[in-house]
Amino acid sequence: MLDFLRWVVLERITTRRPVQPPRNIFPVATPSFINPRAPEEALTVTWVGHSTTLIQIGGRNLLTDPIWSECASPVPPFGPRRWARAGIAFEQLPSVDAVLLSHNHYDHCDVPTIRRLVARRADTIWFVPLGVATLLRKCGAAHVVELDWWQSAQIGGLEIGCTPAQHFSARGPLDRDRTLWCSWAVTSPSARVFFGGDSGLHTEYGEIARRHGPFDLVLLPIGAYEPRWFMRPVHMNPEDAIQAHREITGSGTPPIFVPIHWGTFKLTDEAMNEPPVRIRSAWASAGNNPDHLWVLSHGETRETRVRGLAPRS
């Protein structure tokens, strides 16, 4: 708490912060996901904004950390507001088979959105880390699978693996770290996807790849990282995310990297348009193939050719 007060009170008074771009800086693309479902052999990703994505894999539609609210806060309209509208209008969502929640923070676990999704389709399966199921059931979710790190469950031919992340949890002043946070690995008969959730750089990416890889598509957070002295343990910056991508790749073929957790809600001090600029620059400086970095616009859909499942080491 003392560090938090140092940041939001003392440092914001004494330190000059970067100039923010205009709120209309981020274009919103027209999504082109396959409706109602993609073929089993297809793999598509649509960035809705922040850490919300629609992933089509194994003939199933998955959502990650869904938030369609205008404000990420326990007391809207106060709190971080959207800089870009949701990349998919809620009414245009295809039928959602499963939702992956990484933790219970308001910008990742949005109760109004959860209730809308439950009302829309009662049999959606919700995958959550330990302790979060209670909140989901209070929102009306009937099918909740609560997992610890390294546990897995099945849904219609998909394996959903709960994997480590380095973060924290809380929805109020008295429940800090009472529930778990995680990342997710999804395996279909033809492809593998890793959703990094919300995390600082940690040492388990190689083990995640050993147990669940090699991956075709990796979604990693790159925003909300300044001031670095305060945010480093819980939020990666673009350079950290590239390191995580390198570790999760190992000696294999690099997976497609889709940056998330930027450009939607202003949570920290860096300029809102800095993360995509830095990730492109750092990616090029590292000598990585530019075709393997997909910096998506809100609403943009891309499809990748899956290479088929390689054997795990």
Q: Give me the average pLDDT of each 10-residue run along the chain (313 residues).
A: 79 84 96 96 97 98 98 93 98 98 98 98 98 98 98 96 98 95 97 98 98 98 96 98 97 95 97 98 97 98 74 51
Which domains occur in the chain, in start order?
Answer: 25-304 (3.60.15.10)
Q: What is the pLDDT of residue 15?
A: 82
By residue count, the chain amounts to 313
Q: Which among 35, 67, 40, 36 has a CA at the least distance from the CA of 53?
A: 67
Q: What is the pLDDT of residue 312?
A: 52
Instruction: Say which DSSP state 216 is in.
Output: S
Q: What is the pLDDT of residue 308?
A: 59
Q: What is the pLDDT of residue 306?
A: 67
**Cis peptide, bond prior to residue 214, ω within 30 of zero:** yes
Quote the pTM value: 0.95
Q: Which amino acid is at 143?
A: H
Helix axes of 238-249 and 205-212: crossing angle, nearest 10 degrees = 40
